[in-house]
């Protein structure tokens, strides 16, 4: 789970998950404990993109191999759940926006 770099508090899983839907790359997100802005680190952002890369890979596999539709649905659900479970673990926070340096 990510730690706020200002107050050092570890964010809870649910807060982190909510953050994943609202985090803006440039504006960051406000720490629920100290109110300071936090930003996703470059490395964490790169890992998030790699995580989401599974979805297009699934699409390409689908084009190349005749996968039964129920198996597609199962794989999509597995990837989606994996992304939700893994995102809080790969989210790393920074007090400075590394994109504007």
Does the protein bind Zn ion through residue 7 (CB under 5 A)?
Answer: yes
Q: How many residues does the chain have?
A: 101
Of 17 and 32, which has the nearer Cβ to Zn ion? Answer: 32
Does the protein bind Zn ion through residue 6 (CB under 5 A)?
Answer: yes
* Neighbouring residues of 38: CB distance < 8 A, sequence distance ≥ 6: 2, 4, 5, 6, 28, 29, 30, 31, 93, 94, 95
Q: How far is the CB of 58 from Zn ion (least distance, A)?
A: 36
Pairs from 55-60 (Cβ < 8 Å, separation ≥ 24)? 55/79
Of 10, 12, 27, 34, which lies in the binding site for Zn ion, with binding defined by CB under 5 A? 34
Q: Which stretch binds Zn ion (CB under 5 A): 6-14, 45-53, 57-65, 68-76?
A: 6-14
Q: Which positions from 13 to 32 touch Zn ion by CB under 5 A, shown as an x/- string?
A: ------------------x-
> What stretches of 21-64 adopt beta strand conformation (E)?
29-30, 37-40
| Residue ranges that bind Zn ion, judged by CB under 5 A | 4, 6-7, 31, 33-34
């Amino acid at each position: 789970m990510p730690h706020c770099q200002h107050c050092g508090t570890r964010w809870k899983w649910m807060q982190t998950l909510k953050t994943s839907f609202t985090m803006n790359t440039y504006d960051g997100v406000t720490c629920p404990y100290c109110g300071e802005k936090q930003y996703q680190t470059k490395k964490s952002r790169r890992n998030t993109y790699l995580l989401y890369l599974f979805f297009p890979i699934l699409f390409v596999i689908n084009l190349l191999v005749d996968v039964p539709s129920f198996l597609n649905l199962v794989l999509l659900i597995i990837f989606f759940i994996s992304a939700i479970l893994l995102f809080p673990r790969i989210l790393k926070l920074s007090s400075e926006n590394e994109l504007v340096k």
